[in-house]
Every structure is written in C-alpha cells, then in structure tokens.
Amino acid sequence: MNINIVTLFPEIFSALNAGLLGQAIKREDININLIDLRIFALNEYGQVDSKPYGGGEGMVLMAQPLEEAIKSIPSSPVCHVVNLSPQGQQLTHSKAKELSKYTDLTIIAGRYEGIDERIINQFVDEEISIGDFVLSGGEFAALTLIDAFSRFIPGVIGNQKSVESDTFGSGLLKGPTFTRPEKFNDENVPEVLLSGNHAKIEEWRETQSLLRTLERRPELLNNIKLTKKQIKLLEDIVSKRIL
C-alpha cells in the first residue's frame, strides 16, 4: 500500500518507524511518501496560508500549494484522497477496514482553521474525523488513521486472528484479559481461565464481551446482528442484573 501524506510537519511522522508499522515499512508492505507542503509555498517566506475571506479567527491553508502538492504525487491513476477534519465521517472499525483495501491513499493533514473548500470540492474523495474533538493539526489524526487501517493489511500484524478478535472486530467490546501472576494485590484471575476447558473459556469470554458492551457502549448492540447464543447470553445477563 502506498500512503502519501501532505503535511507541514513531516518530522512528526517519524513515529511510524516504531513497532509493527516500522517493521511493515522496512518490509515494504507499506510505503510512506511524505510531501512537505512548504516546498510548494507561494513565496520566499514559505507562505502556504492566508486569512479567511469574510473575516474570522485563524488562518486557512491556501488552495494553490495544496493543489501542487497533490499533483506532485506519483501514483496510479486512481488514488483515494482523504482530508482529516472534525466535519468528516467518524472513523470506525469498518471504515478502517475499508480504507485498507486501497493500493494508493493520500492523506491531507491540515492545520489552523482548515483548508480551502475548493480543494475539498475538486480533489478530496472523503473527509474523516477521528472523534468529536479538535486537535492542533491533522498530523496526529493521520497517525491514528494509518495505525487503524494498517492492521488490516496482510503481513502487518503477524497473527491476523488477533485483528479479527479485537474490540469492534465482532461489533462488540472485547472483554477483560489477564496474565501472570495468578494473584495480584489479593485479586485472583477468574478460575475458568485456569480450567483448561476451552468451551467454557470461550463462553466466558463471549459473556464478558456482551456484558462490557452492555455496561459501557450499549448503543453498539443496536448495530449488530447477534447470534441466537449471544441473545440467550444477553438475556441471562439482563435477568441477573434485574434480580
């Protein structure tokens, strides 16, 4: 996958060289192409932004430098362009999986009050938000986006089953996990996890996943189709809570 990133601060993306993403980049499962927007500045002062028409606070990234940056990208005829914006569609597990299917993806990491709307109209395929909050710039949102969809690219995660069983993989939150020691500050690991009975362990995990989702993100239950077994487990959970 080729990932092009238009940014004013390419140095921030050195973080991509760490961990599993860094290994994937070394193997060339992922290719990162950083485009420094300052290279396309309008003058010797490095100008890439200006005051918004009609007045208002802050500055806006100008259309011409952004256009030249996007057009400078060597890519296949079809390159999906994403602008990171609080006004965009919220990033979800399914959206991340969808983005992982592209072979060429361009991400605009905006700054200040955003980018000129004409760039969005003429070049951007979709806008994405990582949440209902505002950051100082799109770079950290871009890092989050890249990490989220890269997990679905074959080879990036060694054990692909871990991706499938992640929180949101099934539409539910993942239940609690434990490791050594068996006892920590007078709290023991649940006995079922030490039993060696894989059927009971699987049922416990499924029950805990449903319980955690019900307690913390109940709205998620409206968006997925539960199996008959999950419906029965959920009914049992609700019944015990009422009692």
- Annotated catalytic residue: which of 117, 166, 182, 215? 166
Active site residue 176: no
- Annotated catalytic residue: which of 36, 98, 113, 125? 113
- Annotated catalytic residue: which of 86, 98, 125, 203? 86
* Amino acid letter for position 131: G
Return d(Cα 137, Cα 196) in angstroms, integer.
49
Kind of pairing, strands 104-108 and 126-129?
unpaired
Segment 39-42 long-range contacts (CB within 8 Å, at least 24 positions apart): 39/69, 40/64, 40/65, 40/66, 40/68, 40/69, 40/72, 41/65
Active site residue 113: yes
Active site residue 186: no
Q: Exposed, middle or buried: residue 70 (CB in 10 Å: 0-12, 13-18, 19+)?
A: buried
- Annotated catalytic residue: which of 111, 116, 127, 151? 151
- Give every CB contact of residue 19 below 8 A, 6+ residues apart in sequence: none
Question: Is the sign of the CA dihedral 126, 129, 130, 135 positive or negative?
Answer: positive
Whether omega before 10 lies within 30 degrees of 0, making that bond cis, reads: no
For the annotated catalytic residues, the residue numbers are: 86, 113, 151, 166
